[in-house]
Amino acid sequence: MCFWAYAFLFFLHFLQPAAVRGSGFVKTEGTHFSINRYPMFVNGFKSYWLMTVATDSTQRNKVTSAFEQVVVHGLNVSKTWTFNDSQYKALRTSPAVYDE
């Protein structure tokens, strides 16, 4: 699962335009978002299912397919849940114990 987390972050790094990359933080300028003084437009989707699907090797292709569609539609933000504690395919199996 750690591999998929790194792959996701790598993907997001190249999803942003070169002008947005850098050490800047998202800020507001009036009613707009910006990074390093360049406008940032947020277009995203909820992917509550991402962690569960990524842990199943027979369904991981759905993650790749979803992000391919994300690029086609110009989305640049994904919200996902990663707090699955002590349940089916749990990320945290007990206090301070994580299943990568």
Listed in sequence order, the DSSP H helices in 1-100 are 2-15, 50-54, 61-72
pLDDT (0 to 100) of residue 12:
57
Condensed to tens digits (0 to 9), the pLDDT of residues 50-60 reads 877 887 889 98
pLDDT (0 to 100) of residue 49:
84
Quote the distance between the C-alpha of residue 61 and its chain's center. Answer: 16
What is the β-pairing status of strands 38-40 and 32-35?
Answer: antiparallel
Confidence of residue 5 (pLDDT cuts 50, 70, 90): low
> Edge to edge, what strands does the sheet with 38-40 contain?
26-29, 32-35, 38-40
Residue 29 to residues 24, 26, 35, 75: CA-CA distances in angstroms? 14, 10, 10, 22
pTM: 0.53
Query: Mean pLDDT highest for which of 2-6, 53-57, 63-67?
Result: 63-67
Paired with 97 in beta bridges are: 94
